[in-house]
Amino acid sequence: MYDSNNPYAQWFNHLTDSQIDIIKKNSVKLNYNKGETICKQGAFASNVFFIERGLMKAYKEYKSSCLIMRFLKQGEVIGFSSLYNKGTYHYTVASVGPTEVLSVTADVVKQLIREDSTFAEMVIAYLNKITGDELERIVSLTQKQLNGRIADAVLHFANNVYKSDEFNMQITRRDVADFCGMSTESAIRILKEFHNDKIVNINGKNMKIISKQLLENLSEFG
């Protein structure tokens, strides 16, 4: 149950003992395998999920296609934005690899927001950051050419998801394409061009950024 050493402890470490007890009584730890769905777009938002480990993708579904909005990692939260807006999840979230979450009843999270101003401010700050990130994504998807979008994606993976210029891509080429709003074939072609131009080095699922400056230039002027 609740453990002060968990990545999501930042959300709870200032709460009172009685509030922690309420969380313990109204939460459960859940494990998911690669590809399993944590929540479904349009479903009733009965729970908020605090990520303990793993990587997930949040995507909007439209007919037979989807657009990945965000990748979520340990310490992040699923479901805040659904608490007061129609009470349904705005997107589907699926695990990219093995993941573990703490699932807390939505009503308890609402109670904490009402009772604890610090918790409420943290939720507002988190939602503001997501809004800012998604506005940047809109600019990337609507104003940049394909090369600029892929450069944005690689920089995002390095700076925000893996926090390293060298990483093992749990994310598939299809995921990269769905994150950048293009076909899988286009994403594969551009990544190959980046590799051939020695901007990145790709070996199977391993990616290493060789020239971050070139990526940043492509991002800015792409």
pLDDT of the residue at 3 = 65
How far is Cα 157 from Cα 165, in angstroms, rounded to an integer? 9
d(CA 197, CA 193): 6
pLDDT of residue 42: 93
Burial of 57 (0-12, 13-18, 19+ CB in 10 A): buried
Half-sphere exposure of 89 (CA within 13 A, CB side): 25
Burial class of 75 by CB neighbour count within 10 A (0 to 12, 13 to 18, 19+): middle
Q: DSSP letters of 121-134?
A: HHHHHHHHHHHHHH
Q: What is the pLDDT of residue 8?
A: 79
CA atoms of 10 and 12, how far apart (whole Å): 6
Give the pLDDT of residue 4: 63
CA angle 60/128/114 to nearest 5° reads 100
Tokens of 83: 């608490």
- What is the per-residue pLDDT for 31? 97
CA distance to 104, 149, 196, per residue, from 29 (Å): 9, 36, 44
In this prediction, residue 1 carries a pLDDT of: 47
Report yes or no: 39 and 61 within 8 Å, Cβ to Cβ.
no
Query: What backbone torsions phi and psi does residue 131 show, to the nearest 5 degrees?
Result: -60, -45
Residue 170 CA to residue 210 CA, distance in Å, equals 20
Best CA proximity match to 15, nearest among 115, 124, 123, 128: 115
pLDDT at 187: 97
pLDDT of residue 181: 94
pTM to 2 decimals? 0.90
Show the low-confidence residues of the chain (pLDDT under 50): 1
Q: What is the pLDDT of residue 87?
A: 84
What is the three-class DSSP state of 217?
Answer: helix
Domains and CATH numbers, the chain: 7-140 (2.60.120.10), 145-221 (1.10.10.10)
